[in-house]
Amino acid sequence: MIIERPILRLKPKADARSIRHGYPWIHADDVVADRRTRAIAPGTIATLEDAERAPLGAVAVNMEARIVGRMLDRDPEAQIGAEWIATRLSRAAELRDRLYDAPFYRLVHAEADGLPGVIVDRFGDAAVIQPNAAWAEERIEDFADGFAALGIAHLLLNATGRARAGEGLDAETRWLRGGVAAPVPVPMNGATYLADLTGGQKTGLFYDQRPNHAFVAGLARGAHVLDVFAHVGGFGLAALAGGAASALAVDGSAPALDLAERGAAASGVAERFATRRGDAFDVMAALADEGATFDVVVADPPAFAPAKPALTAGLRAYEKVARTAAPLVAPGGYLTLCSCSHAADLAKFRMACLRGIGRAGRVPQLIHTGFAGPDHPVHPHLGESGYLKALTFRLLA
């Protein structure tokens, strides 16, 4: 069956070879933007051709965005409809169900799961979808039907991500199917977290840190832990579940710390858990002035370098985090520093951390480098999909 579609054609100078080898994005500078091409409506499926008119695949088009084409299928005749979407969702779910005993995980990780621009986190029979590309927004009901087939009764559209603005999409949050009024309890690493799907950050919980929570929890047996930028208790609750003596969670959000305290109660560790609200840098400075030290200190800040223009300032901010946190680590203790900025690659982030630790007068020993869990697969041709880094140092002096 031949499908009549608009054509998105590469310029002769464009690197068609990288696209043939798996690179999933087509940038504005790489396409012939004639009047007919510029008239393609956002979210339309087109056939991508090289400069010699050889088809390369079926792509989602948005001529208003920096990424004007997103590869959906290497088959240029693929029918991108409800059945195609349901198949991709089922394939993504099959991987996660092999990885985890309970349905709490990132279900769809955008390009890495063959669903460009689409992020989905699952919370039992509920899920939150972030359609950060116009093609997915246009087909949101097909996604909702596909999730229903997977046993997901409650589906929240969270359309507030920063990436949506670049696609020309509106910001809104609404239930597509069902609805959940209360925070959802999420079992992870022996602790219970409470995820606020409608009012929390992003989708309500950060599943990507799961393996790093577990690693730090192993170090924290019997230890006193400081969890900075704690959100709903991430590292602190996992450490307490693993046998830490105490955990202090620091965050600027009162609602997040309330959920952290409720999570501590649900986990049976409330008597060993405390919170402190305030700017993370101010609180760390105050703790230093108080002479406080901890066996394990974790700092998991928001993305300081979400894009290349912010890289220099972001690396300075990561250095400041390391310089401020290092004095709070007892001699021989452990410091875990995290970055979710894809623009700051591992080498640059590591050097920023080492500069900060050195300027704090501490002597580090790098003992572990962590990344996101396997429910956040990495697209091998897209470095942005492997954004998370977690470095754990032992401070010898």
Active site residues: 340
Separation between Cα atoms, residue 269 and residue 177, nearest integer Å: 35
Q: Three-state secondary structure along the chain?
A: CCCCCCEEEECCCCCHHHHHCCCCEEEHHHECCCHHHHCCCCCEEEEEECCCCCEEEEEEECCCCCEEEEEEECCCCCCCCHHHHHHHHHHHHHHHHHHCCCCEEEEEEHHHHCCCCEEEEEECCEEEEEECCHHHHHCHHHHHHHHHHCCCCEEEEEECCHHHHHCCCCCEEEEEECCCCCCEEEEECCEEEEECCCCCCCCCCCHHHHHHHHHHHHHCCCCEEEEECCCCCHHHHHHHHCCCCEEEEEECCHHHHHHHHHHHHHHCCHHHEEEEECCHHHHHHHHHHCCCCEEEEEECCCCCCCCHHHHHHHHHHHHHHHHHHHHHEEEEEEEEEEECCCCCCHHHHHHHHHHHHHHCCCCEEEEEEECCCCCCCCCCCCHHHCCCEEEEEEECC
* Whether 95 contacts 3, CB under 8 Å: no
Instruction: Kindly report the backbone phi and psi dihedral angles of residue 140, in degrees, each rounded to the nearest multiple of 5, phi listed first.
Output: -65, -30
Residue type, 178: G
* Whether 220 contacts 273, CB under 8 Å: no
* Whether 294 contacts 288, CB under 8 Å: no
How would you label 216-229 residue by residue, b for 16+ Cβ within 10 Å and e otherwise? Answer: bbebbeebbbbbbb
